[in-house]
Amino acid sequence: MMQGPESKSERGFRWALPSLSILLLIILMQLPYRISFLDNLLPFLPMAAVYYWGIFKPNLVPVSAVFVLGLLQDILSGGPLGMMALLLILVRLFVIQQGRRFLEREFLFSWLVFVIVSLVFGLATWAISSIYIREAQYILDALGQSMLTIAFFPVIVWGLGLLRLMLVAEKR
Amino acid sequence: MKELKHRFSSGFFIVLALALLIFGSNNTSLVNAARGQVTDFFVPILSVASRPLQAVDDFIGWTQQVAIVFSENKRLLAENAQLKQAQIMSSQLAIDNQRLKRLLNVGEGQVNIIAAARVVSDSESPFFKSVLINRGTDDGVLKGQAVINEDGIIGRIINTGSSSSRVLLATDMNSHIPIKLASSGINMILEGDNSPYPKLGFLPIGEEIAVGDLILTSGYGMVFPPDLPVGQVLEITEEGIKIKLSTKLYNLNYVSIVGYEIIRSPVSRPVSRMGDHSPKGKK
């Protein structure tokens, strides 16, 4: 694998950028937006970032970092402790299992796979939350969040792409 | 070898997350304390990060106010004239009320405003309705205290850190607030169901209720002081009675944390006077 030489050349402050970008998205997701329809529909942007870094720089966002970031999201959002940690790790694991195949394909293909990942992710949050509360919740809310995440995916890819360029520039 | 190591570490963290999910839900004090410490650390960051949003919100509010300033002024003048008349009547009623309460030995509830706080974070999840505020145990905030604003009730404190607290909103599935119908005084429970409109529980059979009826807190449960505005009946269907809250829970800014206790004058407490001997004697 090509992880060895990469991680050596990327030492310094910038190796933390991918994890920091996920942290930033987590904080962004927690801010009070004061818009009534957004109340139920905030997208899973940190998940999109985990998916992105899982494809391009998996060694810079290790599973321990994903765990800590997921746990932080659980604590800040007041949800079940461990839910996001578990789901984000599973997203990362799925991407890495498929990783090299993703890299060779186009953006559209990666988006298409993301559609499925995002819908399954939404369903999983719905299922875990329903079990946690011990009452079946309204499933369309979670799917709405998934849809919005899918719509935001190109923006995330663009933003994190700029960040990745910085990493590549550093490497050279 | 690396593949194996990666799989092992992924498996380890998956098991760890599952364990947290299963055992953390018991809400042990350890988990709550850890949550409090993390929120304490992040609340200042969230507070700074939410400032631009508030500035945008303030600006939108300002432009709206400017747009309606003339019509609003006219309406307020008319309302002011009405209120002046109502004020005279209410002061007479207040004197009457006080006199009758003295006659009946009614214990007066004392409401203490413990702290004013700013909402810095909103869970914005469809399944968990809570917000973080920037006041904690250092400011006297305790678990279980009521949170209100100028429009009415918001929720209650469910977790505290030293400088941050989590407020469970009235719309959350786990929120149950004792309320009453303003017109008839029937006691009921406001039950959150994760929708923006919580429902009414325990309406006695035969009691009548209509759309638009005013709902107030009953003061039972000693969390919310009585007679705070809760909302109005929005719709009555076979599934239940939905309430439109008087506060906009998606648009919270500053809130007050209040403590409530019944204080009776010593004369109006014959039961405790009888029991006074034993503890004093022991001391």
pLDDT in tens, A144-160: 899 999 999 999 999 99
B130 vs A contacts (CB less than 8 Å): 78
**Cβ contact A78–B120 (<8 Å):** no
Helix (H, G, I), strand (E, B) or coil at B9: helix
- Position B167 in a domain: yes
Q: What is the DSSP letter of B241?
A: E
B128 vs A contacts (CB less than 8 Å): 77-79, 129
Asked if A137 and B126 touch (Cβ cutoff 8 Å), the reply is yes
What is the share, in percent, of chain A residues with pLDDT greater than 70? Answer: 85
B9 vs A contacts (CB less than 8 Å): 62-64
- Position B191 in a domain: yes
**Cβ contact B21–A64 (<8 Å):** no
Supply the CATH number for residue B244's domain: 2.40.10.340
Residue of B nearest to A34 (CA): B251
Distance (Å, whole) CA B135 – CA B152: 19
- Position B210 in a domain: yes
Distance from CA of B178 to the nearest CA of A (A): 21
Asked if B159 and B36 touch (Cβ cutoff 8 Å), the reply is yes
Distance (Å, whole) CA B44 – CA B183: 44
- Position B38 in a domain: no
- Work out how many domains chain B is built from and give that number: 1
Question: Which residue from A1, A67, A76 is facing B2, i.e. has the nearest CB?
Answer: A1
Q: Which residue has the higher pLDDT, A105 or A54?
A: A54
Distance (Å, whole) CA B252 – CA B158: 18
B270 pLDDT higher than 60: no
Distance (Å, whole) CA B280 – CA A153: 70
Residue B60 amino acid letter: I
Owning domain of residue B197:
107-263
Helix (H, G, I), strand (E, B) or coil at B236: strand
pLDDT average, residue stretch B264-270: 47
Distance (Å, whole) CA B131 – CA B248: 13
pLDDT tens track for B42-87: 999 998 988 888 888 888 888 888 888 888 899 999 999 999 999 9
pLDDT tens track for A53-98: 988 888 888 999 999 999 999 999 888 889 999 999 999 999 888 8
CA B8 to chain centre: 45
Helix (H, G, I), strand (E, B) or coil at B159: strand
Tell me how far CA of residue B211 lies from CA of B68, B73, B154, in angstroms.
Answer: 29, 30, 22
Distance (Å, whole) CA A122 – CA A148: 11
The CATH class given to the A14-29+41-171 domain equals mainly alpha
**Cβ contact B25–A29 (<8 Å):** no
Closest of B57, B151, B152, B171 to residue A35, by C-alpha: B57
Tell me how far CA of residue B132 lies from CA of A30, B36, B49, B191, in angstroms.
Answer: 9, 10, 14, 21
Residue of A nearest to B15 (CA): A86
The ipTM (two decimal places) reads 0.83
Question: Which residue from A63, A78, A81 is facing B24, i.e. has the nearest CB?
Answer: A81
Helix (H, G, I), strand (E, B) or coil at B262: strand
Ranges A20-29, A160-169, B24-33, B215-224: which has the least confidence:
B24-33
- Position B99 in a domain: no
Ranges A40-44, B106-110, B124-128: which has the least confidence:
B106-110
Distance (Å, whole) CA A28 – CA A33: 10
Helix (H, G, I), strand (E, B) or coil at B253: coil
Residue B203 amino acid letter: L
When mean pLDDT is compared over B14-28, B99-113, B183-197, B258-272, the highest value belongs to B183-197
Tokens 């875990």 belong to A128
Could you tell me the sign of the dihedral formed by the alpha carbons of A33, B216, B213, B125, in that order?
positive
Tell me how far CA of residue B13 lies from CA of A21, A64, B21, in angstroms.
Answer: 21, 7, 12
Closest of A71, A97, A26 to residue B16, by C-alpha: A71
B278 pLDDT higher than 50: no
- Position B12 in a domain: no
Residue A11: φ, ψ to 5°: -70, 160
Question: Which residue from B45, B128, B131 is facing A32, i.e. has the nearest CB?
Answer: B131
Dihedral, CA of residue B240, residue B245, residue B246 and residue B251, to nearest 10? -160
| Residue among B39, B53, B125, B245 with most chain A CBs within 10 A, to mutate | B125
B35 vs A contacts (CB less than 8 Å): 75, 81
